[in-house]
Amino acid sequence: MPKSPLDGIIVIDFSTIIAAPLIGTLMADFGAEVIKVELPKVGDVTRGSGGLSGKRSPFWLTIGRNKKSVTLDLHTNEGQEIARKLCSKADVALFNYRPGVIENWNLGPEVLHKINPDLIIGLVSGYGQTGPYKDKGGFDRTVSAFTGVTYTSGYPENPPVRSGFPLIDYLTG
């Protein structure tokens, strides 16, 4: 049986919701071993998003597929230490937090590259890691409006219309 293109690649996915987790999902689809890190109590937000009563969330079934999961409290020293150990053996780490958050968890690029100099770190945020908007949160709805995508749908005589599909999230991932 032929190997998958990403066979042997280990990805630690610290991201949540859609845009960045989709990167991990696609890597898993191509054979990478993806370990999804989820916070205690809530897990990934998509686990409870958009599901029918008593059914599993279609978002989670899509974004969480082909991944292993582990629960770590990244607000604690113990959780941070385990996360660093995971990253020491990984090829890729994915994050989608505003600048400064992962540094507060002692998981910033400088810390992780001391542990694993070859680690590829993916940082996805609404407005980038630098610049005047870097500290603003970004979700599909706000970034769609900010970039003008909402002006491409609807009717000219009416206000802009948001897509019923998280287009920006999927284009980012």
Catalytic positions, please? 169
* Tokens of residue 27, six digits: 């890597």
CB atoms < 10 A from the CB of 65, how many? 11
Could you tell me if 94 and 9 are in contact, meaning their C-beta atoms sit under 8 angstroms apart?
no
How many whole angstroms separate alpha carbon 171 and alpha carbon 48? 22
Rounded Cα distance between 121 and 113, Å, is 9
Q: For residues 4 and 82, what is the distance between their CA atoms, to the nearest angstrom? A: 28
- Give the C-alpha separation, 107 to 37, whole Å: 13
